[in-house]
Amino acid sequence: MKKLVLDFPLQLQEALIIGKNYRFIASAKEFNNVVVTGLGGSGIGGSIVQNYVFDTLKVPFIVNKGYDLPSFVNKHSLVIVCSYSGNTEETVAAMKEAMKKKATVVCVTSGGMVADIANKKKTDCILVPAGMPPRACLGYSLVQLLFILAHFGLINNSFEKDIKKSIKQLKDGENDIQKKAAVVAKKIFGKLPIVYSADRYEGVAIRFRQQLNENSKLLSWHGAIPEMNHNELVGWKDKADDKAVILLRNKNDYERVQTRMEINKKIFKKYTPNIIEIYSEGGSYWESAFYLIHLTDWVSVLLADLRGVDATEVKVIDFLKGSLAKV
């Protein structure tokens, strides 16, 4: 897993090549809505892209994480199917429903049933390299989402320049990123991590939580500011020395959100001394987001070492899938 985390900038680089070289079957057209359907490591890219297009996309952008699709999906919808293995049963079910509803379907996968169905139906299907855990392939899937949106004229291609800058930033700063991650991992060790971010970076916070779950084998939760200021903040009433608050921060976070974070820190300090701030680097959304993703991915695998667990194994998920297959 460490090797996969280390190779994240190279994965982004390869993902750009895959996206630029893909030739779409479907022509550009107008849509009333966009739905990305996918779960876990395959679906988190949709949540992060949703944050990115929040204030630019002219149609609703929904991330679907289940078997069913929203009732509004129809022939005027773009449905992007994301399943790294191609065999995620929830995503396959949603894909079949999208096709029944005559939506324009574009798939991102390494193979499996999704690729087979797409090939049979002559539907767009962008293939990414196979043989890795889905959570280690975020770069491949996320970048393809951007190329899909650009092909249909929903966003421009400025993301390519920003991602290239991000790749250089991550490569140049790799040693510093690993050092910072090691410090954070040691501070979190033995505690329950609580991850907070600005609302525009909630997808990145979810990604960190999921990596703590899968790589570190650790329970965690996340919240977004300002939403958590209207409910969860009231829950901070008891001594919580066994908890560690991690604030994912960006210098370009909305000004009032930054003010809220400073006030929140004062409240957290009444209940726990374990408060960690991780600031992103870079000028664009993608530079900031990929910096935080890469650093916190390192935190999750280094924390796995401290906990003496295998960052790669997911036996409990394998058990769940095996049990479902018998029903």
- At residue 27 the predicted structure's pLDDT band, cuts being 50, 70 and 90, is very high
| Res. 313: pLDDT tops 90 | no
- pLDDT attached to residue 305: 97
* Amino acid present at 64: N
| Res. 319: pLDDT tops 90 | no
| Res. 326: pLDDT tops 90 | no
- Name residue 62's beta-bridge partners: 35
Q: Which CATH class is domain 170-307?
A: alpha beta
| Residue 115 and residue 94 in contact, taking contact as beta carbons nearer than 8 Å | no
For range 221-237, the mean pLDDT: 97
Our measurement of the distance from residue 121's CA atom to the centroid of its chain's CA atoms, rounded to an integer in Å, reads 29
- The secondary structure element, H or E, covering residue 246 is strand 243-249
Q: Where are the domains of the chain?
A: 2-156, 170-307
- The secondary structure element, H or E, covering residue 53 is helix 40-53
- At residue 130 the predicted structure's pLDDT band, cuts being 50, 70 and 90, is very high
The string of pLDDT tens digits covering residues 83-100 is: 999 999 999 999 999 999
- pLDDT attached to residue 282: 94
Q: Write down the mean pLDDT value for the chain.
A: 96
First to last CA, the chain: 32
The string of pLDDT tens digits covering residues 234-291 is: 999 999 999 999 999 999 999 999 999 999 999 999 999 999 999 999 999 999 999 9
Q: Is there a shared CATH topology between the 2-156 domain and the 170-307 domain? A: yes
- pLDDT attached to residue 181: 98
Q: Does domain 2-156 have CATH number 3.40.640.10?
A: no
| Res. 138: pLDDT tops 90 | yes
User: How is residue 252 annotated by DSSP?
Assistant: T
**Mind spelling out the 3-state secondary structure of 151-215?**
HCCCCCCHHHHHHHHHHHHHHHCHHHHHHHHHHHHHHHCCCEEEEEEEHHHHHHHHHHHHHHHHC
Q: Catalytic residue numbers?
A: 214, 230, 321
Q: Is the overall model pTM greater than 0.75, yes or no?
A: yes
- At residue 322 the predicted structure's pLDDT band, cuts being 50, 70 and 90, is confident
125: left (phi over 0), alpha (psi -120 to 50) or beta: beta
| Res. 324: pLDDT tops 90 | no
Alpha carbons 265 and 179: distance in angstroms, whole number: 24
